[in-house]
Structure 1
Amino acid sequence: MPTVQPFVTVVRAGRLSYAAGLKLQQELAKQNVQQSSDFRNYLLLLEHDPVYTIGIRTKGYTAQDEDRLRKLGADFHRTDRGGLITFHGPGQLVAYPIINLRQFKPSIRWYVTTLERTVIETCRQMGIPNASTTQDTGIWVGDRKICAIGVHGSRYVTTHGIGLNCSTDLKWFEHIVPCGIEGKGVTSLSEQLQRHISLSEATAVLLDSFSKTFECLVQEQSKARVQN
């Protein structure tokens, strides 16, 4: 790890469509810098309108499936992230780290493992000590997934990230096989803790966990300032 802790600027983007969130990711990732040390790292935090997304492994989802899911009132997007189909929507904390791994450790495997540790530590701090990884992607509580993970890396710059279910309506997941894993379900912080968990409550804990596991300094900045 570097001796000087890298800075990560936190951008709270509010609720956005998936397309708007993807465009913002692309804007933050596309930096014309000569050296990796000049790259400005971001942690984009937001909540999506209802949307089903598929990663680079589509596993047989057809145009008919897309039409079926759109008729439920959700959008549908094919993406370049890892992983299979999942759902994003209200009550889910979405975190997209836009960071240059050369300022941390130039390893996608390290990055994914550190993201997993961040979510596990977040759950632990909130009172869920048994959240863990399995042979399947994401973070699980028993046989139910509480957080989806799907990332993309290009020249060590990361996009996409995690979707942590806080108070998500889990019925949206009944229309798909989440992340292509048969026989397993989904859960949320609210369901596990038997009380309503707001995005703001979960965000505060996630930021603390992120700064510790990634050994970085986080600083807040508004979406408006980023775009200006």
Structure 2
Amino acid sequence: MEFLVEDLGLVPYGEAWAYQKGVHGQVVRGERPPTLLLLEHPRVVTLGRKATGENLLFPESWYRENGFELYWVERGGDVTYHGPGQLVGYPIFPVGREVRRFLRQIEEAVVRVAASYGLEAYPTPGYAGVWVGEEKLCAIGVAVKEGVSFHGFALNVSTDLNDFSVIVPCGLKGKGVTSLERLLGRQVPMQEVKGRVVQAFAQVFGMEPRLKEGHREAQV
């Protein structure tokens, strides 16, 4: 079995959210194979199903006035930040009722990517995500509708970590965030990371990747 990979580049959150829903419908109807969307977003704060707004440090209007978009969405989890230099992946895969297993598989794929850079990363029981030490490297939050997932993960590659200071990331007080570049002390090419993510997903999910024609080739 194969999965389709689409490298979308930098896409505003609202456009990507709408595109996800269209792809989701196609996967539900069997009109396309499972699909992994890889992209970056301009600065945006999103709030998931568990969010009440208490982990926003400013009024909603402040974010929009200071260069952040803000969306309430249907994924799991609380509040998170997306921005340039962060690799966002939306695996739109059939999962049925095995949502917990699916989350563990995403975590395992990210752990393998970190390991490929010599980093020891780990998931934390009780909530989704991948950590290095006491700092979060990757946030994960999905939604499942009609047995097919959407939303996904956000892996910090060269993200401006200062932007996380305007929220309580994932609602976890006293915890930090980190990035591949901060951990490695060097630049990490985004296309290289995309290639390693595709490889890890292929290994963990036992499927062959196929790049959608017309999209940029990830460096494997």
Q: Following superposition of structure 1 onto structure 2, how do residues 105-124 of structure 1 map, counting pairs within 5 Å?
A: 106-124=97-115
The alpha carbon displacement at 1:101 in A equals: 2.4
Query: Percent of aligned pairs with the same residue?
Result: 36
Q: Is the 8 A contact 1:16 1:49 kept in 2?
A: yes
How many Å separate the matches in 2 of 1:146 and 1:183? Answer: 15
How many Å separate the matches in 2 of 1:49 and 1:60? Answer: 21
How many Å separate the matches in 2 of 1:208 and 1:151? Answer: 21
The alpha carbon displacement at 1:133 in A equals: 1.0
Aligned residue in 1 for 2:200: 209
Root mean square deviation, CA, Å? 1.9
Alignment partner of 1:133: what SS? strand
Q: Deviations over 1:141-198 (max 9, x none)?
A: 1111000000000121010000000000000001110000000010000000000112
Aligned residue in 2 for 1:142: 133
Aligned residue in 2 for 1:20: 15
The alpha carbon displacement at 1:32 in A equals: 7.8
Pick from 2, 8, 13 the counterpart of residue 3 of structure 2.
8
TM-score, normalisation: structure 1: 0.88
Q: Is the 8 A contact 2:28 2:148 kept in 1?
A: no
Q: Is the 8 A contact 2:28 2:146 kept in 1?
A: no
How many Å separate the matches in 2 of 1:205 and 1:145? Answer: 19
Moved more, 134-143 or 152-161: 134-143
How many Å separate the matches in 1 of 2:183 and 2:20? Answer: 31
Say whether residues 1:84 and 2:78 are aligned partners: yes
Q: Is the 8 A contact 2:37 2:89 kept in 1?
A: yes
TM-score, normalisation: structure 2: 0.91
Q: Following superposition of structure 1 onto structure 2, how do residues 33-112 of structure 1 map, counting pairs within 5 Å?
A: 39-61=32-54, 65-101=59-95, 106-112=97-103
How many Å separate the matches in 2 of 1:177 and 1:88? Answer: 13
The alpha carbon displacement at 1:23 in A equals: 1.0
Pairs aligned (count):
213
The alpha carbon displacement at 1:59 in A equals: 2.9
How many Å separate the matches in 2 of 1:74 and 1:33? Answer: 32
Q: Is the 8 A contact 2:138 2:154 kept in 1?
A: yes
Q: Following superposition of structure 1 onto structure 2, how do residues 151-190 of structure 1 map, counting pairs within 5 Å?
A: 151-190=142-181
Alignment partner of 1:158: what SS? strand
- Would the alpha carbon gap of residues 222 and 12 (structure 1) be closer, same or farther in structure 2, given more than 3 Å must change? farther
How many Å separate the matches in 2 of 1:158 and 1:175? Answer: 29
How many Å separate the matches in 1 of 2:151 and 2:117? Answer: 24
Structure 1 unaligned blocks of 5 or more:
1-5
Alignment partner of 2:59: what SS? helix
